[in-house]
Chains A and B, each alone.
Chain A
Amino acid sequence: QVQLQESGPGLVKPSETLSLTCTVSGGSINSYFWSWIRQPAGEGLECIGRIYTSGSTNYNPSLKSRVTMSLDTSKNQFSLKLSSVTAADTAMYYCARASFMVGGVALDYWGQGILVTVSS
């Protein structure tokens, strides 16, 4: 059973960089797209971006200037860095796997989420 687990600081100061890691267990990180999604309290889901195991990335245009994603296949991990954070970046952050299945593509496995608060 594939499992994803987010890790990182739960509190980040304004103007600093948010750094999160997602560890994948029960399966290989290879040959999949891996995404970061966030949800501010009381709001909807927003995709921050995705990374393929080749290292190619695709970021949300609204966040592109502040986002960097990377992955480490040897550790079965992928990471998110979001720079110059403000209170508006306070949210639950999820990592997820995108699978191409017969008939379609979707985010089939998700981490449990990690709450990140931006505050001094």
Chain B
Amino acid sequence: EIVLTQSPGTLSLSPGERATLSCRTSQSISSSYIAWYQKKPGQAPTLLIYGASSRAIGIPDRFSGSGSGTDFTLTISRLEPEDFAVYYCQKYGNSITFGPGTTVDIK
């Protein structure tokens, strides 16, 4: 079973700063199967990135994804106030598995 690890657990930043979130998989995985979601309290998760680097419909271009093999990254170029949330990476395949999440909070 492929395990997803996210780092850091918490990222404390100020609006306007750049956020770099990491997701590592225990085995190499096709980038087609990697997605990123934003989760805010009381709301359903929102799909940000699929296929490791493709932005979902309606997602601002300050969100970008990259990576291959076992290392994947979500970058938020300039944090807006509404971006402070928990971010999950996820892999699709024989099973759907989520990483433990990275909390981006206000410094």
Contact = CB atoms under 8 A, between A and B. Distances in A.
Interface string A59-83: 0110000000000000000000000
B98 A47 contact: yes
B98 A104 contact: no
B95 A60 contact: yes
Interface string A74-104: 0000000000000000000010001001111
Interface of B: 1, 31-35, 37, 39, 43-47, 50-54, 56, 88, 90, 92, 94-101
Contacts of A47: 95-98
A98 B54 CA distance: 15
Contacts of B37: 45, 107
A104 B33 contact: yes
Given A44-B88, A111-B44, A106 B94 contact: no
Contacts of B54: 101-104
Contact of B39 (A45, A61, A101, A112): A45
Contacts of A46: 98
Given A47-B97, A104-B35, A106-B51, 6 more contacts: A44-B101, A47-B96, A101-B54, A104-B31, A104-B33, A110-B45
Contact of B95 (A58, A104, A105): A58
B35 A106 contact: yes
Interface residues of A, number: 24
Nearest to A104: B51
Contacts of A35: 96
A104 B54 CA distance: 8
15 contacts: A37-B98, A44-B98, A45-B88, A61-B95, A94-B45, A103-B54, A104-B35, A104-B51, A105-B50, A105-B51, A106-B50, A106-B51, A106-B90, A107-B45, A111-B44
Contacts of A61: 1, 95
Nearest to A94: B44
